[in-house]
Chains A and B, each alone.
Chain A
Amino acid sequence: MATLSRTPSATAPTPSPAGPPRRVGFSQRLSRWDVKVSPYLYISPFFILFAITGLFPLAYTAFVSVHEWNLLGGQGDFVGLANYADVLAQPTFWRSLVNTFSIFVFSAFPQLALALLIAALLDQNLRSATFWRMGVLVPYVVAPVAVSMIFGRLFADQYGLINELLGLVGLDPIAWHGDRVASHVAIASIVNYRWTGYNALILLAAMQAVPRELYEAAVIDGASRVRQFFSVTVPQIRATVIFVVITATIGNLQIFDEVRMFDAQGLGGPSRNWMTTVLYLYDVAWGNQKNFGRAAAVAWMLFLLIVVIGALNYFLTRRISTSAPDRPARARRRRGGGTDDTAGATVSAVTRARPGAPPPGTSGAGHPPTVPIPPEER
């Protein structure tokens, strides 16, 4: 592998013969300077802009959180940890944390199961495979706020389609906006609508990297399709499953869009039944309290929570994937790019979730897709 630090000498033998010696010296020095400085120059826009718009605000959140600070009044006195004490004493804060976790549980597991099923269906030798793959991805391009508006209507307490369907099979209508758990299920389904197909495609990519020999062996051993799925496919794509779960976790802890639009007031219902922590943060900062100090305390605590859970996930994952049998590299290479020639499948989901890989995460303000992503803002 050539190193580029050698290239200045490579360019040296080709100076213009007519040029005066001093110019050669100058252009040579220029070229060396070019080689030395360029790498830093090229990465600097990212680092500078990311520092300004990403890291600095996060760090400064800690500063704001120990001051009295209002939307209108601006910075006030240093108050130490008083904002944290205030927030921790608010029942709504705790309620929002419980809601967040509850919605996470209701979305993560059904979503993973459905995504696995859809991926398994797509992993057949389908006619017009691209059509089906695009089809399951349609919800991804619908904005979460739009999905939330539509589902808010589908899950309407009166004359909502879901309740009508329940009536058809003889069940009582459910108070999707009144009952706390029911509202979490409805909101989780909003999240799932958008991200299930997306995750199915990630899992599909992993499934296609499973060496076909394993299935052939399973067939010879007389394994049924279902048995093949649970005994060959699932163990082989374990790393990717974990990756999907982690991104889902990080995203789901930051749910905002879905709950903001679930009713007309957008503050989590009359009893704050579906107020999530990020929505609570928004309400403290820009809603009734207009208290930046307290909101910053909420943000900082949520940040630490996410980091802790992310780290926990990461170490857990390392454990699980290092103890898992390693997939033969040969097979991965052979089938890895098998999905689409244009994919340039260099960063396969499998690769990203391998033991040595860093903890994946969402890149921030996008919703994390939650769910898995999520949230883009999730």
Chain B
Amino acid sequence: MSKKVNVTIDGKETQVPEGTNLIDAAESVGVHIPNLCYLKGMRGIGACRMCLVEIEGMKAPMIGCTTKVKEGMAVNTKTEQVEEVRKFVIDLILSMHPLDCMTCTKAGVCNLQKYAYDFEIKESNFNRKKFGYPVDEANPFIKRDPDYCVLCGRCVRVCKEQGTNVLEFMGRGVGSKIGTAMDKPLQESECTFCGSCVDVCPVNALLEADRWRKGREWEYTTHNSVCLSCGNGCDITVSELDGSVVKINAGADDGSAEKYICATGRFGFESAMSDARITTPLKRVDGKLQETTWKEALEIVADKIKAAKDNTGIISTGNILNQDAFVLSKFASDVMKTKNVDTTVSLYSDADSLKHSDTVDIDNADAIVLVGLNTSQKDRVLPALDAAVRKRASRGAKLIVINPQESAAGAAATVNIQADEASSLAGLSKALIDAGCKADKDLSSAVSGSTVSEEIAKAAELLKGAQSPVIFCSPSLFNAAQNISLLLKTKVAAVPFEANARGVVTLGLTTEGKTYQEMVSGTMYILYAIGEVPVEKRPRANFLVAQTSYLTDFAKEADVVLPAASYLESKGTITNYLGKNKTVNRIIEPAGDSKQHKDIIIELSKAMGSPIRDLAAKIKGAKEISKPSFSPFEKKKGLDVNASELTDSLNASVLKNSKLVWLKEAKEATV
């Protein structure tokens, strides 16, 4: 831990870590230093000058966002002189800001409004200015209205830091505006519509496009939850009004590198409330799906399962909750008595890699290695990991990318090793051993023949100098990457493509019989599919049960369809790729008659006469701790998937039934 220093802020004494700036230090004792341009976690730029404070013993006032605490510092945040400056700045901004708080969507959460209220400025004392720039509302995601912009530059910095680099200042001083390159509309720029800029805008200049007259912040109820769209499992904050979701924002702590959600996470929620949802159980009668009751549907399924002798199987996606996974594995072993239970996780990972993966705190990593993960925000392949890694890199961490193809992350890397992953890792180990790291016999003999290229030597040097290095790798390279942790105190995390992949394998949803791929392509008597499983054509099964939220192509082929609740309607936990348990909250009631996966399975077990109980207490991070030992530098076979296609097919219904469909259409229109 870093050293603590004593400071006094407005007469309140406190201890804060060395290197903290005054705004954060003041926040820790409950004193708010006004600011418009400061963003927690990023270096201050001192543009708005609102955070001026007076420090005893100094002649001139200092700005809070860039001044670091010193031992014995005494700070006054509310002297007459600095209050005057704050009023002056707000007064000036108000002279060029529309005064339409009564209809403004951001009313209540607008920083400018708050400060004008605090400083008792009804209207500006200065001459009114208006520039009349056109509003960019050509896309269905983000609306940009330069008239409201206060030129704080938060959006520009957040966009730069995460590596998208779309927004930039145009011009200088008053009359400048925020725009894209060549001032094109967002969809013609490199924008990924992640909406990070919307989250940081202090005023109404950047807003979700459809927020007009959909209630204002104080009318919403906000809930914390987790997005299950991809392997990142990002924290989200969901705003709900009258039983429907209005918007979703990034939910991670301010200042954390993980505070990011992609377009799918932010704008995909509409699908949960769309017509594409299945709201009642369906059964196949004369080749057509017809609505039926829960009782009847469950009886049909129960009878079929009872009648089946063998060759039954369960397939599931990896984004069901821990509670669902627990009940499902109980159901498979105790009720259905089948060994054929597997998830989509097996397409890209072995169970051990995820089970033994380290718990990682990305915010403290000072050297990050990406092995075989072609992360991309544009193609939405683990976008949050990509953003987090780039943010860490912008904040001073060293980034090393090992990828055989040219990768987007590689361009931002300190060292980009464009070579075969396994042999590069072997070379890296050799370079580390050469640099004096102790290794056992197996490891040193295994790498003795490896070549150390210039880049690898550089990477080894960076890793050796790092305090808390982290390796993120694709599961197929986990064991090879773990060898590095035998040499250095490196944490190694295998990154799956589904939010709860780690949770489902930990809870035993790994097959002892047929694998997912075998069940989907082979012949089964009964196939029970949970979630939106990516299957191209109907599997050869006598009886097909689909338990999903949407009428997917797969569900259309099923004999019985059981409506399941979406992730916004379920309650439970997940274990994300970093090893953290996160809580998923029920934000809206399940659509129609749909039920959460575990409730359906419990009902089904009752219908079969051997009810299982929901033993929630047993699901507590059943993490196996294993001591890493040497394993050969190899890439595990059969785990190569196209991550972008897999993610898209797992989220196909969400992409098809929300505004996100526009992205695809716009892309097709331009080609």
Q: Do A and B come from one complex?
A: no
Residues of A within 8 A of B (CB): none
